Amino acid sequence: MSASVFTTVSGNFAKKRRRKDNSELSRLLFWDVDADAQVYLTGPAANPPPLEIQPLIVSGPSKNRVDLVFFSDGYLLEEKSKFMQDALRLAEDVSGNHTFNTVKPLMNFWAAFTASEESGVGTGGKPKKTPYGLYRDGTELRAVYYAYPEVADAACTSMGEQCDFPILLGNDPLYGGLGGRFTVITSSILNGPQILRHELGHSIIPVGEEYDGGFAYFGVNAYHNASESVPWAHWMAEESKKDPQSTPPRIERSVMPIQIYPWTLLNTSSPYTSTFTSSGTFPRYIVRFSLSGLPEETDLRVELDGKNLGWKPKVGLGVDRWHYDIKLGQGWGDENTIELERSGGLTGGTHELNFVLLNKAREGEAQLCSAEVLEFGSEEEFVSTPGYYGIFPTYSDTNETSYRPTNEDCLMRIVTTPNFCSVCLEGLWHALLSQVRLIDDLVVSTIKGNEVAGMTTIEVKLVPFAQFRLDLEKSKFTQSLDWAQLRALAEAEHYTIIWYKDNIALPEFENQTKIEGGPFRRPEGGSGISEVLLTML
């Protein structure tokens, strides 16, 4: 974030209020690459389940932090240690990731264990005997729903200010998740952290999707009317910053000729085939799809117009779900581009996309989840370079167009991308700092002496940004690379502390966290009030 400044003035340190539901999020729940919604209706109040609460990562007092709590579902009593390990792994992955590591001092992570009668997540629309009733609608690796939202709400409410964002963690090793009032994830090693970051983007910032084929496009990363000012113009390159009042802003040239969500089990008797039409006017394109139940390269062949696209599964994935991109055509400047016999873009006319199951032993498990083709202009017409901010079209499930800030820099578009774009990251900072003050506490102490007034000491306790990051984390980093990265992050931040006496600034005490002297009156009298500004370069 470039030269961002946040400020806090000391005063009354009231406990934080419980997070209010965003009107969008209270009605709709999100999951990547699905275009449906589960309606969350408030039901009768429920009693909270018994909770065994353990700290995972704590940066400060809950009254001045955003608290995320992992609630167990589908973990037997004898699987409690597994739940704690799963929750800690996810918390460390998210908070250690670049995106959330920057805001880590604003957050606490907790684990709240409740034993389930049955292990795992339900399937076929039927929950198991678990506290929150997590289940899949079918067998597909897609959304994971909850059957008992009133119990989840009661569990979070029972923790008071210690629970702002409840995360329901299902004991299932495969892909699945949901966002909204309750973030739902599974313990999948590869997909769990990615889905958690994505769903927390919905819940915390909050923003909608950036991928194509969704239904909810809102928040700081969504732009709907090219005749209006661009909300992220301050992040855009000069050549793409055009005054919309005089010249329409440049829109990157792309089109989506096909997008499907078959959720179909593949078989060896016949391939899954879908046709689409191209205008033949784009020099490059991507074939994008997601699969599950296909751990080996010899299990499947993906073809376009009869040509093998050379699909290979992600190493170490097993039968879990994964998203794949195959780049074709000219102008990508990418060594991963696949070269077919024709070196340009798609020709005008009809084309055929085939998914051919080769291994009969995979029948009943191998599944095509989604597929789409995206066509792009040249690099002069569509900038695909990472780090470029502009106006990129996104196509909804009803083929309506909205716009996003980057091509594919953001995990709200590509779930396998580890970071938010700068627009969403800026939104994350604003969302968290709307609930947290930069000043944790203002400690006033008076030592009586020979004089009647005595000596007063006033100390401001700050949220550990800037130089205080190092104090918070120094015991946790043993590798020099980690320490160097943390130091670089701390050096990019700067606290400015201004003290006042009788509402008059005291420059002699500037940037000091503690001042001693007397006589000072207590802060409520107008003396010793501090103003703190955090600047990030």
What is the full DSSP assignment across 473-496? Answer: HTTT--SHHHHHHHHHHHHTEEEE
Residues 6+ apart with CB under 8 A from 508: none
- Say if domain 253-382 classifies as CATH 3.40.50.12780: no
Are the beta carbons of 259 and 372 closer than 8 angstroms? yes
Query: Pairing between strand 165-170 and 66-73?
Result: parallel
Using left for φ > 0, alpha for ψ between -120 and 50, and beta otherwise, residue 528 falls in left
CA–CA separation, 267 and 354 (whole Å)? 12
Residue 334 buriedness (CB in 10 A; 0-12 / 13-18 / 19+): exposed
Q: How many CB atoms lie within 10 A of CB 461?
A: 16
| pLDDT of the residue at 31 | 37
455-462/514-517 β-pairing:
antiparallel
Give CA separation, 231 vs 112, 234, 238, 424, in Å.
Answer: 39, 8, 15, 12
DSSP three-state, residue 157: helix
- Tell which residue, 284, 290, 261, has the closest CA to residue 274: 261
* pTM score of the predicted model: 0.88
Question: In the chain, where are the structural domains located?
Answer: 17-204, 253-382, 439-536
Is the bond leading into 206 cis (omega within 30 degrees of zero)?
Answer: yes
**Distances from the Cα of 228 to the Cα of 181, 221, 225, 242, angstroms:** 31, 15, 6, 11
Q: 530: which strand partners?
A: 499
The answer to whether the CB of 317 falls within 8 A of the CB of 341 is: no
CA 408 to chain centroid: 14
Share of the chain above pLDDT 90, in %: 67
Q: Distance (Å, rounded) from C-alpha 399 to C-alpha 217?
A: 12
Report residues of the chain scoring pLDDT below 70: 1-44, 238-248, 334-343, 448-454, 472-482, 517-529, 537
**pLDDT (0 to 100) of residue 4:** 64
Burial category of 105 from C-beta neighbours within 10 Å (exposed 0-12, middle 13-18, buried 19 and up): buried
Rounded CA-CA distance 207/199 in Å is 10
Backbone φ, ψ for residue 150 (5° rounding): -65, -30
Q: Which two tokens stand for residue 101?
A: 């590591």
In this predicted structure, what is the pLDDT of residue 86?
98
Architecture of domain 17-204: 3-Layer(aba) Sandwich (3.40)
Cα distance between residue 411 and residue 409, in whole Å: 7
- The two structure tokens encoding residue 363: 């029948």
- Say if CB 329 and CB 295 are below 8 A apart: no
* Beta strand segments in 164-238, E: 165-170, 177-178, 183-186
Question: From the centroid of its chain, how far is CA 494?
Answer: 26
Residue 20 in tokens: 């209010």
